[in-house]
Structure 1
Amino acid sequence: MGDLMVMPEGLSLAAFWALMATSYAASFITAALGIGGGALLLAVMASLVPPAALIPVHGAVQLASNAGRMGMLLSHVHWPALKGFTLGSILGAGLGGLVVVELPPAIIQVSVGLFVIWSVFSKPPKWLSRFPVLTGGISSFLTMFFGATGLFVAGYTKAQNLARHGHVATHAALMTVQHCLKVVVFGVLGFAFGQWLWVVVALSVAGLAGTFSGRLVLGRMSDAGFKRALDILLVLIALRLIWQALTG
């Protein structure tokens, strides 16, 4: 692969294969547990991908992952849930794009680390689930800085009181909208997606494989024990990321 494709600046071959394994594992976790994979992928990417490329590349991979999940369950998507959320997401992503370009790399790394820790120990306010425009706006604004805001959107999706397949499909559709807007905004801001394109495609394929594997073992594991181990791993990775930013 090294002879056919040039690694993007700041990404080593070893880091690429580590990201491939993480993308598979992250999609496996999301398919098996419903949430958590995006935060894991973000935390690992933050240690291996240059800070300037972290959020846009993560967004592109998550766009492909969620779009694939939505496509598998397209008939179960609750389309009315997307109306207000999409409007808010357009406003939030646009506003976030005006601010994110001014942040130094170390601030982004520390912010991502703190956000990952927060996502483990806290929950979004319940009132967010009642106002789709506000939920879309706040989560899309934050995703421009932190990347993995599926936790916010999950609360809104849960409030729709959908059947299991409808919940998974609708959450994937909402996140597809959000990540699509993020990719568009970063493209307008001048991020060079071209040199990262083959990496995004490779990670997306690994993620798709993880999704299929996760669906096969869904319900065959101890959710509580698995989630506890995932939370510990996320906190350790986040603390390491914060330490790197503060000492670098």
Structure 2
Amino acid sequence: MSKPNTKLLNNQQIFALIGIAVCCGLLILAVPRFIASLYALYPEAAFKQMPQTLPTEVYEKSIADLSKALSWYQNPDYWQTQGGFYLQLFNNRPLQTPAQKQAYLKQAKTAITRGLSLSPVDPRGWLQLAVVDSLLKMPKQQIISALRLSFYAGRVEPELVIPRLRFSYTYYADFTEDMQQLWQKQIPVAWAFKAPQLVKFITAHPEAKQPALKAFIYSPEEADKFLSRFK
């Protein structure tokens, strides 16, 4: 009768222990994310209803629930969403004192910055930071730096292109030539995905027509189509 291969059994036991350790490790990682996702359910549902104005209580509960979610798992999207809710409170909560409004902006900036530190390739996050810095009356170059990172992080963002063009145009005169070119490169994106909104923006800011037209310098046919919308 043959004896069992002790070495083979030992190897099998080692592999089994490694497998158990890996499973336990994955479970340890998964549980905090799962609990965080449960806390984030309400804020995510509220976020989907924006940009329509919601009751103040919804924003406050969403912020509180996201704080609980973040205590379990540092998700950059949770931070960005929380920053958005603070901005909604800043914009929509009635009877605020200047100190309360300032506090909401600072809380929004903190949340957005934390999110960007975890996930810097976030064009919406950088735009949101630029907006908050503008409301906080931070130096123009700081705002422009955030806009530059927004452009670099996502040049083709159909849902972001018009809000970003509209907001950043406020600082166009302060842009370097490189930043002006980044702004101009957004025009074909807007023309391709959001032409009616682009025309509406240019109509409201006729002085923007000339820099916008530079974006079509190598596409004369598109330039003619663009100009025909203003006749």
Of structures 1 and 2, the larger Rg is shown by 2
TM-score (norm 1): 0.24
TM-score (norm 2): 0.26
